[in-house]
Amino acid sequence: MAADAPIPAARRPSAAKVRLLEVADELFYAEGINMVGIDRIIAEAGVTKATFYKQYGSKDTLILEYIVGRDRQIRESLTELERTAPDPAATLRTLVDTIISDTNRLDFRGCPFINAAAEFPDPAHPVRRAIVAHRDWFTSFLESLLERVGHPTPGAAADELYLLRDGAMAGGYAGDPIAATSALTRAAERVLREALG
């Protein structure tokens, strides 16, 4: 390709591919990945089995796309939040508010990444590797915010906040969401006080 040749536009996924992923995303999160069969996804998406196999080839590929898609949504959302918030402390507070809001949704079923990790125990599985990549990115995002806020130990504080986020999401689904999110709010404010003095 010549240096001045235009870069070809990325091909948009077909409507069938998008629909299959939308249906899978909804069902995998609501009911569990291993509980939902391909035939049900195909039926609810309104496509043929041949179309499914042409678009994804296997359920494993669709599962990985589900995890990667959830990761992409969160990265885009947090990047936009960081861009529009007045400062890193406001970004952290808004993030905590978002987690609290999520736990109060009627369709809330906990963290999709923790749920998926429970269904894929092999750490070498591509789904588990994608989950680890997501968690590493999220922790780095928190660490960067805490560093800019001036926290004396931003890495340790990011680990603590992420663990608290995990606990709030698990506790909010399996137990009392008010108690879980109240604990998250208190801990996040303590972490910010450590930075802001």
pLDDT in tens, 145-191: 999 999 999 999 999 999 999 999 999 999 888 898 999 999 999 99
Same domain, yes or no: 76 and 44? no
In whole angstroms, what is the distance from residue 157 CA to residue 192 CA?
9
Same domain, yes or no: 157 and 75? yes
- Does the pLDDT at position 43 exceed 70? yes
Residue entry with tokens 């678009």: 55
- Does the pLDDT at position 7 exceed 80? no
Same domain, yes or no: 92 and 166? yes
Strand, helix or coil at 118? helix
Nearest to 173 by CA among 82, 111, 96, 91: 111
Instruction: State the chain's mean pLDDT as an integer.
Output: 92
User: Side chain identity at 114, as an amino acid letter?
Assistant: I
Domain of residue 177 covers 66-196
Residue entry with tokens 């970004």: 91
What's 127's domain CATH number?
A: 1.10.357.10
CB 167 within 8 A of CB 180: yes
Q: What distances in angstroms separate CA 153 from CA 55, 135, 144, 191, 197, one per listed residue? A: 46, 19, 11, 10, 13
Instruction: Report yes or no on 5 lying in a domain.
Output: no
pTM: 0.89
Q: What distances in angstroms separate CA 68 from CA 72, 82, 107, 194, one per listed residue? A: 6, 21, 21, 34
Give the model's confidence band at 8: pLDDT under 50 very low, under 70 low, under 90 confident, else very high: low
Instruction: Report yes or no on 7 lying in a domain.
Output: no
